[in-house]
A and B are shown apart, each in its own frame.
Chain A
Amino acid sequence: MKVLVPIKRVIDYNVKVRVKADHSGVDLANVKMAMNPFCEIAVEEAVRLKEKGVVTEIVAVSVGPKAAQEQLRTAMALGADRSILVETDEATQPLGIAKALKAIVDEEKPELVILGKQAIDDDNNQTGQMLAALTGMAQGTFASEVNVEEGKVKVTREIDGGLQTIELKLPAVVTTDLRLNEPRYASLPNIMKAKKKPMDVKSPADLGVDLTPRVTIEKVETPAERKAGVMVGSVDELVDKLKNEAKVI
């Protein structure tokens, strides 16, 4: 079966972000960018399913700027067979991305779509669920275990109280949680091979989708700073401060 893996180019997770002085957003100039960590887990899961013989083809897709080609090459170096870039300079939002992905799903007809549960920049946690709604597919979000069986997929989900297992009819959408797997590193020969793998570049107009943002960002601010605290010398002093100064115990 065919698997579609949508990925996103985001700021590297180790970077301490800086809000722009004019409050228009976060400064992304000259900042290290990378594949969203949850997307890496999605790629890894697809590759593992291929290694198990369940999956025959992995198509990576990204909706974003030209530079996202880099992340698609990474996905192919990790094991995706080919990729599609829906190129846009517009700021992307979940509903628009989900619509673009639906158009790709209609063309490619994958049996499984695996996405990350959220991107670490916008922290939305929406795209997979929206894609499932638009395509009328079942959804298995926050997955920590995925087992494909005959015509079905069993997904163990991380929920607030613990774990929940559900069974979905294929085709289905799955979004990955951190504990689903440990992504591998791309080896140099695989990075070289990935350069020869096919990448299709499309425009939102080719797909007939409108990516105009529905939500406008009015202002971006730095959160209130916490006041510098004090260091205490002993447990006695700590207990005393908590009892008499902070009055929290």
Chain B
Amino acid sequence: MSVLVYAEHDNATLNPVTLSVLAAAKELDGDITVLVAGKGCGAVAEAAAKAEGVSKVLCADNDAYEHQLAENIADLVAEVGADYSHILAAATTTGKNFAPRVAALLDVAQISEISDVVDGDTFRRPIYAGNAIATVKCTDAKKVITVRGTSFDGVAAEGGSASVENLDVVKESGLSTFIGEELAKSDRPELTAADIVISGGRGMGNGDNFEILYKVADKLGAAVGASRAAVDAGFVPNDMQVGQTGKIVAPQLYIAVGISGAIQHLAGMKDSKVIVAINKDEEAPIFQVADYGLVADLFEAVPELDSKL
């Protein structure tokens, strides 16, 4: 088996989720090649070459790949991937955007968000918002797969010594153009990679009240998340949303504050090691999954928690 792993990056640094994808790739027992596509992404290729288990890095450095536009990336991956039995990408918005396009270009099925590798053809993945786990088998000649990062412990970022080969394949479809982006800036750890996450829901009342969560987060070195209700109410930006349609997290500690615990929210956090719920409604479904539950007014409990850490 030969595995092609698509590297996730921002043209400057390798996103740690790629190390988790490499861990999934390792379970396939094949030769692992990493593809880095971007603009000025040499440092990313160097970083990928150092990751454990990588035997080769292909670097496609061109203006056409700068913003990871699906049309160009899919054409590139479909061409480069022709020599591989498995093509893996992270189940991030980037991976989910181009991987199905690659699969269709190759006329094969795509398997989304795998949480387990059974063998080269068989994988496990959550369905129905994580309320069922399906074992699926795909007999297509090639497997195009996205990997749920939180389900695999990443390989070591150092220790490898793969060679870097430059690719001059340029795919410019001319179908789409990048106009601009608005990225949320934060000094706190990235939500999907944080060891501790503290999230607020509709119970927070408004965006200013999230300040009390930020204070606790800064003491704990935690990332701050939110439920869909809090995002839809405009309290916080959408990239903080944890759930079926937001981000999937599995930290050591997840603190849910003023979150009732709808199925869609649980889908994004129920694999956390320890779950704490603070809610004034003792009937809230979140208490059914919480390891430690505290029935209290969050506006009293959270500042008290802050003072006692």
A interface vs B, CB < 8 Å?
Answer: 11, 13-14, 16-17, 19, 26, 93-95, 98, 117-118, 120-134, 137-142, 144, 154, 157-169, 172, 177-179, 214-223, 226-236, 238-239, 241-242, 246, 248-249
Shortest beta-carbon distance from A59 to chain B in Å: 22
Binding site for A on B (CB under 8 A): 67, 69-71, 74, 92-94, 96-105, 107-113, 122, 126-140, 173-184, 192, 196, 220, 228, 231-232, 237-239, 244-245, 247, 252-253, 263-264, 270, 273-276, 287-296, 301, 304-305, 308-309
Nearest CB of B to A228, in Å: 8
Q: B70 and A139: CB pair below 8 A? A: yes
Contacts of A239 in B (CB 8 A): 305, 308-309
Contact: B294 with A121, CB < 8 Å?
Answer: no
A241 to B176, CA, bound (A): 53
Contact residues in B for A133 (Cβ distance below 8 Å): 74, 100-102, 104-105
- Looking at the assembled complex, report how far the CB atom of B255 sits from the nearest CB atom of chain A, in whole angstroms: 9
Do residues B126 and A129 form an inter-chain contact, with CB atoms below 8 A? no
The residues of B that contact A242 with a CB separation of less than 8 Å are 253, 274, 276, 292
Kindly state the separation between the CA atoms of A223 and B273 in the bound complex, as whole angstroms: 15
Contact between chains at A123 and B104 (CB < 8 Å): no
Do the beta carbons of A17 and B110 come within 8 Å of each other? no
The prevalent SS among residues of A at the interface is mixed
With A141-B97, A216-B136, A223-B131 known to touch, is A167 a contact of B126 (CB < 8 Å)?
no
Contacting residues, chain B, for A13 (C-beta < 8 A) = 263-264
Q: Is the CB of A123 within 8 A of B309?
A: no
- Cα A17 to Cα B264 in complex, Å, equals 13
Question: Which chain B residue has the least Cβ–Cβ distance from A175?
Answer: B97
- Among candidates A142, A168, A214, residue contacting B138 with C-beta atoms closer than 8 Å: A214
Contacts of B71 in A (CB 8 A): 132, 138-139
- Alpha-carbon distance A205/B111, docked complex (angstroms): 26
Which chain A positions have C-beta within 8 A of B274?
242, 246, 248
- A122, A157, A179, A218: the one contacting B127 at CB < 8 Å is A122
Given that A94-B100, A159-B93 are contacting pairs, would A124 and B112 also be in contact in the complex, using a CB cutoff of 8 Å? Answer: yes
Nearest residue (CB) in A for B277 is A229
Q: Is the CB of A248 within 8 A of B196?
A: yes
Decide if A93 touches B128 in the complex (CB within 8 Å).
no
Partner of A123, one of B105, B112, B182: B112
New A-B pairs, 18, CB < 8 Å, besides A126-B100, A138-B175, A223-B133: A95-B104, A122-B127, A123-B128, A130-B110, A162-B182, A164-B181, A164-B182, A165-B180, A166-B67, A168-B175, A179-B232, A179-B238, A216-B138, A223-B131, A223-B270, A231-B287, A235-B301, A238-B292
Determine if B184 and A162 form an interchain contact, defined as CB atoms under 8 angstroms apart. yes
Partner of A165, one of B108, B179, B305: B179
Given A126-B100, A142-B93, A221-B133, verify A120-B67 contact (CB < 8 Å): no
Residue contact A129 to B128, C-beta cutoff 8 Å: no
Q: Looking across the interface, which residue of chain A has its beta carbon closest to that of B17?
A: A160
Known: A215-B111, A242-B276. A126 touches B132 (CB 8 A): no
> Complex: how many Å from CA A230 to CA B276?
10
**Residues B132 and A125 in contact, CB atoms below 8 Å apart:** no
Q: In the bound complex, what is the Cα–Cα distance between A163 and B103 (angstroms)?
A: 25
CB atoms of B136 and A217 under 8 A apart = yes
Distance, CA A222 to CA B176, complexed state (A) = 42
**With contacts A123-B128, A130-B101 known, is A235 near B308, CB below 8 A?**
yes
A231-B294 in contact (CB<8A): yes
Sample 22 A-B pairs with CB under 8 A, ordered by A number. A19-B132, A129-B98, A129-B104, A132-B71, A133-B74, A139-B176, A161-B181, A161-B239, A163-B182, A214-B108, A214-B140, A216-B136, A216-B138, A217-B135, A219-B134, A220-B132, A229-B275, A230-B291, A235-B305, A242-B276, A246-B291, A249-B196
A248 to B254, CA, bound (A): 10
- Smallest CB-CB separation from B191: which chain A residue? A160
Q: Are A229 and B293 in contact (CB under 8 A)?
A: yes
Verify A158–B238 contact, CB threshold 8 A.
yes
- The minimal Cβ–Cβ distance linking B234 to chain A, given in whole angstroms, is 10
Identify the interface centre among A128, A220, A234: most chain B CB within 10 Å of its CB: A220
Candidates B98, B128, B273, B308; contact of A17 at CB < 8 Å: B128
A158, A177, A242 interface centre (most CB from chain B within 10 Å)? A242
- Considering only CB atoms, which chain A residue lies closest to B140 in the complex? A214
B291 to chain A, nearest CB (A): 4
What residue in chain B is nearest A129 (Cβ atoms)? Answer: B100
Bound form: Cα–Cα A137–B107 in Å: 16
Contact partners of A140 in chain B: CB under 8 A: 176
* B301: chain A residues within 8 A (beta carbon): 235
Q: Contacts of A227 on B, CB cut-off 8 Å? A: 291
Q: Is the CB of B129 within 8 A of A248?
A: no
In the complex, which of the residues A95, A128, A177 has the most CB atoms of chain B within 10 Å of its own CB atom? A95
User: Is A126 touching B276 in the complex (CB atoms < 8 A)?
Assistant: no
Output the residue of B69, B109, B296 with the most chain A CB within 10 A: B109
Contacts of B140 in A (CB 8 A): 214
Q: How far is the CB of A235 from chain B (nearest CB, A)?
A: 4
